[in-house]
Amino acid sequence: MPAGMLSDALLALAIAGFAQVNLVFQLDNSTPYGPMPAVVVSTLVATLVLALRRVMPLATVVVVAVAIAGPMLARPLTVTLWGDFLPILVVSYSVARHSEWARAVVGVAAIASGLVVVFLRNPESPTIGNVPFVAVPVVACFLAGRVLRARARSHSDDRARAQQLEAERKEAIHAALAEERARIARELHDIVAHCVSVMVVQAGAAEDLLDRDPQRARAPLQSVQDTGRQAVGELRRMLGLLRGEQAQLALKPQPGTADLADLVDHMAEIGLPVELTVQGPARPLPPGVDLTVYRIVQEALTNALKHAAPTTAHVVLHFDDQSVRVGVRDTGQRGGSGGAGAKRVGHGLIGMRERVALYGGTLETAKAPGAGFTVTARLPLQADER
C-alpha cells in the first residue's frame, strides 16, 4: 500500500460519515432540492474518492467535480458543507501538493468548472455574493499545496545533495586510504628489500668463512640475525598500520640524513665501501624530505650491492639555501639480467621517483661514464608536505 493511503482512506470515511449525518440534520430542518437518493450518492462519491487523493490527485479532482456538478446539469440538488464544499477544498490542496504544475492547472480548471455549474444551477446560490466565500478558501488551499510541494522538493534536493556529498566524502577517504596504503607498501618494499639483500650478502660471507675461519663467521651470522629481526619488526609495524590497528606500537623514529653515516658504515661492513661527502652547511630538513633523502641513498646502495660486481660507492649530500641535493655513484659493472644500468626498473626506482615527486623534486638516473651507475635527486627545502 502506498505511503499515506491508509490515512487518506480513514480521512475519506470520516468526511463521508460527517457528510451523511449533516445531510440528515439538514433535511430535517429544510426542504431538500432534488431526490434524496441522488443527493446521498453524490455526497458519497465526492467524499469516498478522497481516499485516492494522494496516489491519483488529478483523477480525484475530476471525480469530485463530476460527482458534485454532474447531477446539477439534470436538476438542482442540495449542496452541503461536508459532502460538497469540504471535498472541493481537500482536492484543491491535494492536486496542488501532489501534481506537477500542468496537471495542477487542469485540476483547478475542473474545480472551477464544477463551481460554475453549482452557482448557476443551485437556487440557494446568489450569483455574486458567494463567489469570494468559495473562491478564497479554494485558492488558499491550492497555494498552500504548491508551497508545501516546493518545500518538500527543496528538502528532498537537500537530502540528495547531502547524500551525494557523503558518498563523495567516503570515496575520497577510500581513495586516500588506498593511496596511503600503496605508499606504505612501497615503504615496506624499501625496508625489507634492503634487509633481505644485506642478509643474503652476509650469509654468503659467512659461508666463505666457515671453512677457513669459523670464528670470524660469527660476525656476519650475527648481522644476519640482527637484520632479520629488524625486517620482522618492520613487517609487523607496517602490517599493523595496513590493518588499521590502533594498538600502541613501539615505533622508533624514521631515519633521516643524520643516520646516513650509520648507513654508510653498515654498508661497508657487509662488503660495499662507501664514501660520504657533505657539502654546504647542514641544516634540519622537513621530516618527509629528510626521510626521502635517506631512502634514496639506501635504495641506491642496496641496488649497487645486489646488481654490481665488486664495487665502491660515493654519496654526496649538498645543502644550499633553496634545496638539498643527493647523489649516489657506484663504480661496479652490472650483469645483463639483473644489471641496474641495463634495466633499473621495479618498485625501487618507481618508489624513488614517487617520493621525489611527492615533494616537488627531480630525480635522474643514468649509467656513469666508463662504469657504474648514478642516482641524483634534488629536493626543494620548501616542500609541499601533502
Range(s) of the domain holding residue 107: 5-125
Q: What three-state secondary structure class fits 2?
A: coil
pLDDT at residue 197 in the model: 77
pLDDT at residue 342 in the model: 37
Three cell numbers, residue 196: 633481505
Nearest CA to 375 out of 317, 290, 311 is that of 317
- Whether 252 is in a domain gets the answer no
pLDDT at residue 2 in the model: 59
pLDDT at residue 184 in the model: 62
pLDDT at residue 339 in the model: 39
* pLDDT band, residue 260 (cuts 50/70/90): very high
What is the mean predicted confidence (pLDDT) over 262-290? 86
- Whether 162 is in a domain gets the answer no
- Whether 90 is in a domain gets the answer yes
**Residue that finishes a domain, picked among 125, 160, 181:** 125
Which amino acid is it at 179? E
- Whether 161 is in a domain gets the answer no
256's CB contacts (< 8 A; 6+ apart) are: 285, 287, 290, 291, 293, 294
pLDDT at residue 24 in the model: 72
What is the mean predicted confidence (pLDDT) over 171-193? 71
248 pLDDT more than 60: no
pLDDT at residue 250 in the model: 44
Distance CA 355, CA 108 (A): 69
Most confident of 69-73, 202-206, 320-324: 320-324
Q: What three-state secondary structure class fits 335?
A: coil
Distance CA 70, CA 63 (A): 10
| Residue 341: CATH number of its domain | 3.30.565.10
97 pLDDT more than 50: yes
* pLDDT band, residue 309 (cuts 50/70/90): low
105 pLDDT more than 70: yes
Higher pLDDT, 338 or 334: 334
What is the mean predicted confidence (pLDDT) over 114-121? 81
Q: What three-state secondary structure class fits 255?
A: coil
- Whether 276 is in a domain gets the answer yes
- Whether 119 is in a domain gets the answer yes
- Whether 48 is in a domain gets the answer yes
pLDDT at residue 144 in the model: 92
Percentage of the residues of the chain whose pLDDT score is greater than 90: 16
269 pLDDT more than 60: yes
**Residue that finishes a domain, picked among 86, 108, 125:** 125
Three cell numbers, residue 60: 480525484
What is the mean predicted confidence (pLDDT) over 344-357? 67
Domain count, the chain: 2
328 pLDDT more than 90: yes
pLDDT at residue 344 in the model: 42
* pLDDT band, residue 336 (cuts 50/70/90): very low
CA distance to 190, 267, 300, per residue, from 311 (Å): 21, 12, 13
16 pLDDT more than 70: yes
**Residue that finishes a domain, picked among 125, 158, 187:** 125
pLDDT at residue 125 in the model: 58
Burial of 332 (0-12, 13-18, 19+ CB in 10 A): buried
Q: Which residue has the cell 449533516?
A: 22
Three cell numbers, residue 216: 670470524
82's CB contacts (< 8 A; 6+ apart) are: 15, 18, 19, 22, 23, 43, 47
CA distance to 193, 198, 210, 211, 215, per residue, from 270 (Å): 15, 7, 16, 19, 17
The total number of residues written for the chain in this structure? 386
- Whether 24 is in a domain gets the answer yes
Average pLDDT of the chain, as a whole number: 79
